Amino acid sequence: MVLETKQAGPIGVFDSGFGGLSILREIRKVLPQYDYLFLGDNARAPYGNRSFDLVYEFTLQAVKHLFSKGCHLVILACNTASAKALRSIQQRDLPVIAPTRRVLGVIRPTVEKVGDITHTGHIGIFGTPGTIQSGSYNIEINKLHPNFKVYGQACPMWVPLVENQESDGPGADYFVQKYINALLEQCDDIDSVILGCTHYPLLMGKIRQYMPQHVTVIPQGEIVAESLADYLRRHPEMECRCRRGGTCHYLTTEDAEKFDSLAGIFVNEQVHAEKITL
């Protein structure tokens, strides 16, 4: 049982690696007044091809660590973790280990927006193989809009392209076109496509270049940030446990210097991470 405390703490933001920094960046733009603690499980990333059991086990370890550092609220800024671990943690673990703390994901807030955007009701999802295979986006969209049709496309090469700083290279042109074509071959009436992975906003230039003009491409950082702001407005009992100070600290399970140098792809500031073991 995690020790309960009323003392305010930072908002925890978890990702399998670097990608969640793209979500954290947007959250900090909308809610700069809070303290944040980011944890990247870089030593075990990527999660995209891992089994349900492992993603759940790793994510739960990370959440417990963030709780032990004083976080009352943790955002899983990782689609794969949100798809494969969030529900079990919310329903099975939290009531036992920390009944007053909360863990939120990125899929539900993104899905809540899609109804405002689509005209055809045919929605495309780009994600890691794990996110697409989980069917989480389909399930969540169909809960809100049972008549919408959802088409998933796994993009296993996009995360490595971003992490190897090849987002502007010819390999990116090839693989961006490849997965866009594969998605649109499933249905030519798709008018909205969700970027259901933390890394994909970094390929936005190329995705926009090869996506037909009439298709709206939906990155999720801003949506998640607005949704968190709304959550905190509706939950004053949680808001008062989120410490104000405007700081951000970074934890990584891999080498801290490596984290510091690669984090610059995702955030425009110098970061100094601390290495931890989960």
Residues that bind ligand DGL (CB under 6 A): 15-17, 19, 45-48, 78-80, 128, 131, 159, 197-199
Query: Which residue number places its CB atom closest to ligand DGL?
Result: 48
Of 67 and 126, CB closest to ligand DGL: 126
CB of 203 to ligand DGL, least distance (A): 12
CB of 226 to ligand DGL, least distance (A): 18
Of 47 and 259, CB closest to ligand DGL: 47
Active site residue 71: no
Report the distance separating Cα 200 and Cα 202, nearest Å.
5
Active site residue 248: no
Distances in whole angstroms, Cα of residue 27 to Cα of each of 11, 230, 244: 10, 12, 14
Are β-strands 11-15 and 273-275 bridged in parallel, bridged antiparallel, or unpaired? unpaired
Q: What is the dihedral of CA 215, 221, 224, 227, to 10 degrees?
A: -80
Contact 276, 252 (CB under 8 A): yes
CB of 135 to ligand DGL, least distance (A): 14
CB of 189 to ligand DGL, least distance (A): 26
Burial of 214 from C-beta contacts in 10 A (0-12 / 13-18 / 19+)? exposed
Of 47 and 250, CB closest to ligand DGL: 47
Q: E strand or H helix at 126, and its extent?
A: strand 122-127
Of 82 and 241, CB closest to ligand DGL: 82
155, 197, 242, 248: which is the annotated catalytic residue? 197
Whether cis (ω within 30° of 0) applies to the bond prior to 46 is yes
78, 155, 242, 248: which is the annotated catalytic residue? 78
Give catalytic residues, as residue numbers.
78, 197
